[in-house]
């Protein structure tokens, strides 16, 4: 196995360790040719391109609203289900998004 010298996390492939190591550095080798924003992972750059193309391939099956990112669609779905999976450990109040819990 290949082990990270910073956090001792192990990986089966050297390439996976190389990608992981960027978590501990400021290295962002993948740069958007449209706006020069940089990313640690190639997949994040590819996902970012939808900002410029306007592509929204992820559609809600309930209301047909479309989103650029699957993660945004997942958050949106909670508006239909009323799901609130993030609970405050101090007061037990629940929230639909982790960011709202953190702000609370």
pLDDT tens track for 11-29: 999 999 998 999 899 899 9
Asked whether 59 and 72 are in contact (CB, 8 A), the reply is no
Angle at 85 between CA 87 and CA 75, to 5 degrees: 125
Buried b (16+ CB within 10 A) or exposed e, 10-26: ebeeeeebeebbeeeee
- Residue 5 reports pLDDT greater than 90: yes
Q: Which domains, and CATH codes, for the chain?
A: 2-53 (3.30.160.60), 58-103 (3.30.160.60)
30-49 mean pLDDT: 93
- 2, exposed or middle or buried, with CB in 10 Å at 0-12, 13-18, 19+? middle
pTM equals 0.54
């Amino acid at each position: 196995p290949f082990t990270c010298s910073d956090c001792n996390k192990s990986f089966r492939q050297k390439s996976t360790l190389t990608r992981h190591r960027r978590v501990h550095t400021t290295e962002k080798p993948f740069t958007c040719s449209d706006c020069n924003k940089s990313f640690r992972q190639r997949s994040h750059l590819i996902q970012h391109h939808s900002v410029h193309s306007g592509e929204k391939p992820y559609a809600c099956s309930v209301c047909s609203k479309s989103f650029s990112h699957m993660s945004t669609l997942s958050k949106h779905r909670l508006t239909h289900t009323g799901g609130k999976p993030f609970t405050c450990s101090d007061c037990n109040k629940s929230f639909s998004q982790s960011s709202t819990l953190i702000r609370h």
